[in-house]
Structure 1
């Protein structure tokens, strides 16, 4: 049987050797380059702290067609809520409208910060709409602080806010944090500070 690679002299063998050497060289170079395609970042180099340093969460009765809104404000920043979902520090993850137009039964809103600037923080609860027309609406509010990227967020405050009418806005917490994310002693209070009607620019 005639070998298509055999031209009757050594030129066929040389051609095969060149092709195989080129292929082996390509594989070798590829193996050498693989670790450099997506190198691991060195610790502290080009890395940023993950979001969620200060987390404010609220939850109210599930399955209710009741729209409760979370409003938060970080030191020197604008209030963040349903009509202004992000500021320099805080972001509102989702504006939960209650069970209306919601595929889940869970009524829950949360905001998180990028960093922990020192100063006063405010967390408010606002009853936007209550299609159930039953009162009171009890809202559980929790604030957590995460100072260590490796550790979980530790709760610093928790309370239940009672809402008795549409349009009502109440302050769940006002508190101050240090540069290290520590709660300033005796800074926790619930003195009302309006956020929903405050300017967001």
Structure 2
């Protein structure tokens, strides 16, 4: 039987009301903060998703099915050669050193190097066949050079070629080219005259 002079029932009701109000306040705060947790990006501002890092981008790609270790070697003007045993210089960084499908969780045989800035002068790009566990020859490597100048919205391809490797230890110059201070290809500067980079890394 309800006793109007008993405070026990009132204290239980007050406690439940306080909990309900606190919970309602918390839900309101969460709803008010949700739009600010991950604001929608402005169109055209998705730099990480659309624009590659670095200014000069060199990529090498070969048959994904092979356990073949092809190494990319690059050299910027006035800098040391950069490759698997010297992954960074003043200008270039080797960002991916791929060993082929051997000990590789991915199915892509791909190496890439990026530069910081675009110093004017000659760039040299080599590929070197370090190891071919499948003993399948020849190995064909697709090499692409792209440049993203400061005044451009994206990276423009300036050179692309297909290099043939016939034996382990072979180092081939894919191409050499000169860039101007504006990051433009100097006319007539693109060629493939051999320049050793791996042996000259020191």
Structure 1-normalised TM-score? 0.73
Aligned-pair distance for 1:149? 6.5
Instruction: Tell me which residue corresponds to 1:175.
Output: 177
Instruction: Tell me which residue corresponds to 2:81.
Output: 79
Aligned-pair distance for 1:150? 6.0
Instruction: Tell me which residue corresponds to 2:123.
Output: 121
The unaligned stretches of length 5 or more in structure 1 are 2-49
CA distance in 2, matches of 1:171, 1:84: 18
Aligned-pair distance for 1:152? 1.1
CA distance in 2, matches of 1:149, 1:92: 25
Contact 1:126 1:170 in 2 (8 A): yes
User: How many aligned residue pairs are there?
Assistant: 152
CA deviation digits over 1:6-30, x for unaligned, max 9?
xxxxxxxxxxxxxxxxxxxxxxxxx
Contact 1:171 1:191 in 2 (8 A): yes
Contact 2:75 2:123 in 1 (8 A): yes
Q: Is the partner of 1:93 in helix, strand or coil?
A: strand
Instruction: Tell me which residue corresponds to 1:154.
Output: 156
Instruction: Tell me which residue corresponds to 1:90.
Output: 92
Structure 2-normalised TM-score? 0.73
Q: Is the partner of 2:164 in helix, strand or coil?
A: strand
CA distance in 2, matches of 1:74, 1:85: 13
Aligned-pair distance for 1:139? 0.2
Aligned-pair distance for 1:142? 0.3
Contact 1:51 1:114 in 2 (8 A): no
CA distance in 1, matches of 2:132, 2:96: 18
Contact 1:51 1:115 in 2 (8 A): no
Instruction: Tell me which residue corresponds to 1:59.
Output: 61
CA deviation digits over 1:54-96, x for unaligned, max 9?
0000000002100000000000000000000000000000110
Q: Is the partner of 2:96 in helix, strand or coil?
A: coil
Aligned pair 1:108/2:91, yes or no? no
Runs of 4+ in 1 over 4 A off after TM superposition: none
Contact 1:126 1:167 in 2 (8 A): yes
Aligned-pair distance for 1:148? 3.1
CA distance in 1, matches of 2:90, 2:151: 20
CA distance in 1, matches of 2:67, 2:159: 27
Aligned-pair distance for 1:199? 3.4
